[in-house]
Structure 1
Amino acid sequence: MKQIKGGGITRFKAHLAGVKGQVEKCKKVPADIQHQIQKSIEEMKSKKRKVEEEYEDGNPCDEVTDLLHTQLIEAPHTSTSQKGKGRIGNYFMPRTTSGAQPILKSVIQSKEVIEKCDLAISKWMIDVSVSFDATNSAYYQPLMDNLCSMGLGYKGPNYYRVRGHLLNKWVEDVKKLVNDYRSIWKRTGCTLMADGWTDRSRRTLINFLVYCPKASAFIKSVDASHASKTADLLFKLFKEIVLYVGPENIVHIVTDNTANYVAAGRLLEREFPHIYWSPCAAHCINLMFQDIGKIPEVTDTVSHAANITKYLYNHCHPLYLMRQFTHGKEILRPAPTRFVTNFIALHWPKRMHLELL
């Protein structure tokens, strides 16, 4: 082994960095260390030039030189604690190819550590019944990135902070997002949509949404349980939303096809002549199937299908045999207010018969 005596820290760094013309290049130094020392020397030279420019009209004191040497010696060791943006990345070789040597962070994160972290996340999801589809959320990986940046000792927000302060913050952000859509509403026009429904508490609710080429935005939900949904009441509710969105921005209004909504739509057209009202196409089709379902022949057929469905699901062995022939598929049972599902249920045995053939 060749020994080099004397020379100090500067020659030693040049030896490790492989600086030509000064000392012999070290043949055993790792590539990462060599790159780190080279960046340290370049930074030292840059600082030295800057100091010389600042003191070119005077005599720099010896403390400046001592400071430069101190920073040169400590730079590789203290750079990890610097808070300056981007400093730590300069001391590691860039990794752009698939066959490149892994960076230091990836080496430290062993498979066992990653497995332990994955198990902790999955255990929490299973314990609180979080859907596994949550991992497909666009906010999933940003969450992990932010958690990693916090380091050890970070405590997650508690129940009261999530439902209070943090929830209010996101509500304000959503309001700002909706307000940003106003420029699009003004430029392209928009459609105001109303969707009436009844929740599990039997409350009559009306959701108001605005559609534009950018996106659909939820505006407001009104509890109309306290009063009868007359045409005048609906007209007042719609007029309030129209004024909030801006009458000059709305070109189209879509509502249900019931008589009170139709009357309210006509009143809106009279109040705002440039706005065009039309019924919901899906609701129209649903009402058409409701009327078709009142035909005696159809009523009898739906009644027989309902009796067969009840028999199968009330007897274990026939249900088992049915699932054997349907390969585990279930019969579509109609919901109380979805008239179209009656016809889907009637179409199901025919489709399954063709599949079995």
Structure 2
Amino acid sequence: MKQIKGGGITWFKAHLVGVKGKVEKCKKVPIDIQYQIQKSIEEMKSKKRKVEEEYEDGNPCDEVTDLFHTQHIEAPHTATSQKGKCHIGNYFMPRTTPGAQPTLKSVMQSKEVIEKCDIAISTWMIDASVSFNATNSTYYQPMIDALYSMVPGYKGLKYYRVRGHFLNKWVEDVKKLSVDASHASKTVDLLFKLFKEIVMYVGPKNIVYIVTDNADNYVVAGRLLEREFPHIFWSPCAAHCVNLMFQDIGKLSEVTDIVSHASNITKYLYNHCHRLYLMRQFTHGKGILRPTPTRFATNFIALQSILAQKDALRALVTSTEWTSSAYSKDVKAKKCVEQVLDSNFWK
């Protein structure tokens, strides 16, 4: 076995790192140890250059060389030790993953240093208007871990690289979970097959709940999925269920007449800029939601909106500004006034 004799801590470091032209590189040294020792050598070189600049007279080389050769790894201190700070933690890559063995450096970090880091992160979030819920993301701590293990001098991603390469990469990953089923009929067998493929791709142990549409085929497919994976629960979309309930309620003749009545009032007021201007004068700038034919829950929200402006609308159609206007004599205007003043409509 080849032996290397002579030299001090400097040659030992050079052997571990593999400094070219000095000594043969050790083939068994781990990458993280190699990185930290390389960092130590660079720091010592920086100290040497600083000393040479400060001492222009004389020859400080002996002092610098002695400083460089006597650098060593100190043992951990006891509670009563008064020696210099321990540097063992500098020779290990930082670890922040829960459950991982912490480094001595991370254990000894002061509260001031931790707070400085927290302030830097929170300042960026506030300045960039990042939602505070972002800290609950499953990717938040892994991002911190990745940054902590990077070499010094790492520069963050630029705007165009995030919105370009990495956004496209993320989209491609999402597309792997997307299925274009527009060409096929949404049968129970097809839906169950698609749901099962997604579950197997994500991992059954990573899914505990699935929400789908409330149509019959989705209901049956959801029940089959529960039978296949007993730990996964299925339920219909609550918003869709409520919307279907309002749809059935909206089919009642009494409700249909009320919605049509409210729709006629809002349409007439919103179809002319001056009428809309007068309405906003009496409602103090507040608008009225218009009933729509497709979203049934929206119709009831619109009815609540117009009911809140009952007194303002009645004051509008009986005001001098309205009765003296040119369109007040119009047939549609008279119909609108009649509907607004109809007491049965407001019951």
TM-score normalised by length of structure 2: 0.44
User: Higher strand share goes to which structure?
Assistant: 1
TM-score normalised by length of structure 1: 0.42
